[in-house]
Amino acid sequence: MSILAVYLLSLAFLIGVSLVVLRLFVRRDYLRKGRLSVPSAILQALVFFAYGGFPSVYLPPTWPASQVTLSLRVIGLASLSIGLAIMFVGIYRLGFLRAFGLQTDELKKTSSYQVTRNPQVLGCVLYVIGFVILWPSWFALGWGSSLIAIMHVMVLTEEEHLRNVYGQEYERYCKRVPRYLGITLLPEAVGQDE
């Protein structure tokens, strides 16, 4: 079996496990308990740790790749570093227990949450972009694209939970603040003032 076939099978398996964890276990806990149980939080963390380690299996160990110019290295390292900083600052400001779904108390709407409803996800996307720039390959692009897609599934699962917990307060927040970046115009938000 070729390395590409093993890679594609491994990636498909990782995507499948991620979807089961996020849409079955995590979603079930949010719906039944209003927060994640410790086992579900651990499973969710393991999904993202598995994604974090996945490239080390398939990407060439040499770095930086010969086709990466100095300017691309600088851009890639900047994107990677800024992304990591945004993720860690976001987790710190939100609080560890809330960031990992173990606690639900108040809806966070201050600081970076006034610009985007998902600052940690944006940080992770910047990290992925930096990684793909530094290790340019189809393997890195496939990994990064699937990780971004799985993070979107995680966001949709969390949004369902937040709508159940905070109701109209969360709906008003969604009308005011975009999911990621840019302008959010939900059909209900068009032409309405707060």
The reply to whether 56 falls in a domain is yes
Q: Per residue in 6-46, pLDDT tens?
A: 889 999 999 999 999 999 999 999 899 888 888 988 999 89
Cα(58)–Cα(51) distance, integer angstroms = 12
- Show the domain range for 92: 3-188
Cα(80)–Cα(69) distance, integer angstroms = 16
pLDDT band at 192 (very low <50, low <70, confident <90, very high): very low
The reply to whether 149 falls in a domain is yes
Q: Per residue in 139-181, pLDDT tens?
A: 888 889 999 999 999 999 989 988 988 899 999 999 989 988 8
Q: Is the pLDDT score of 98 beyond 70? A: no
The reply to whether 15 falls in a domain is yes
The reply to whether 156 falls in a domain is yes
Quote the pLDDT of residue 84: 92
The reply to whether 42 falls in a domain is yes
The reply to whether 115 falls in a domain is yes
The reply to whether 193 falls in a domain is no
The reply to whether 57 falls in a domain is yes
Q: Is the pLDDT score of 124 beyond 50? A: yes
Whether the CB-CB separation of 143 and 51 falls below 8 Å is answered with yes
Q: Is the pLDDT score of 110 beyond 80? A: no
Q: Per residue in 66-81, pLDDT tens?
A: 678 889 989 999 999 9
Q: Per residue in 48-70, pLDDT tens?
A: 888 888 887 777 666 556 678 88
Exposed, middle or buried: residue 151 (CB in 10 Å: 0-12, 13-18, 19+)? buried
Helical axes 38-58 vs 3-20, angle rounded to 10°: 170
Exposed, middle or buried: residue 5 (CB in 10 Å: 0-12, 13-18, 19+)? exposed
Quote the number of domains for the chain. Answer: 1
Quote the pLDDT of residue 114: 84
